[in-house]
Structure 1
């Protein structure tokens, strides 16, 4: 009797295994998001690519697993979701000294600027508009800086934005001190070539108009009493001074 029961159990287990092996659960089809691949060309930035394809730059970074928006390479393939055909993307053209001069405007005779202080935003992205909102929320009276130089995320790479303080010729928190901010965290990344080029031209024109001595061009952290790393360990200050001496 025990032997018969044992055999019945074996038969039952065999049938259960056989039946379960034959039953398959239909898989849900994997829906692949449609899109195209854009091949990065010389002078193109992530900001300009995102703007051309009407996609948020943060989404573009996430889809392509990019952590630093300034570090894309010529020939790199970027997946652009939701797009059916590639579009021509405008390449960055170095800003000219004359273009910078127009942004700055004519010399304000009543102004006596004597210092230029350099900052980094300590953020990986940004522009004058978002910094203005942040500074207003911190009761700083709006954008602290006179000029902001973009890194290709929320404004163009090397794009010079003029703040309201410069237009109204208002000081920030130190007398006769022009505040220039480069977008980026230069403890973690480096100043882009476009940013550096724009900075050299911006300072050159400001020095030309207001006779700012070379010794009065300084990093934020060099101001006495300031405990800060701004504008970051990777900021090329000595290279900047060398270029300014050439110009």
Structure 2
């Protein structure tokens, strides 16, 4: 049985939306901090640092640890982080409960599925392939040198070119203020921000975000227009 879907396409953020990647990001950041003699950060602190790419997350982690973020030290730590995370991108990461079932339902109903993340492009592809082998994403994109990161709207230029769709055909699903800012820059684009990710509901509400989903059922209802 096929269901009527409000949006022809749904684009998802990765970290904190589809997948809890904090265990592996925390391990990678702490591996980098260890080389600088800093104490490890806990996962709750790391959650607050992610959303604008791993380099910015590391910069925030180093600042939290009282380390200089310029020059050779930052470059050295970033190299360690990139190497470690490249070898362990999904050791402890896992899809949030109900996400796989929702993706498969959307797929059966003919929805164009995509992923847009500020994580390095190759890592996004690896994680999606490993954790969602049965889902056919039409578009999987991470950070590339030739495209700005979210919230710059041009991050989705390639998707619109390839799909022939317009912003009004798309619902963007994320978990942070960056995702909300991103979707807000498109006229007519739908957006849902989930509260199970890397920002608390209180933080999201304080950022002025009202299009919130606390459960997978609420997210599904928003995508399907309440049907």
Give the structure-2-normalised TM-score. 0.32
Relative CO higher for 1 or 2, CA cutoff 8 Å, sep ≥ 6? Answer: 2
TM-score calculated relative to the size of structure 1? 0.30
The structure with more radius of gyration: 1
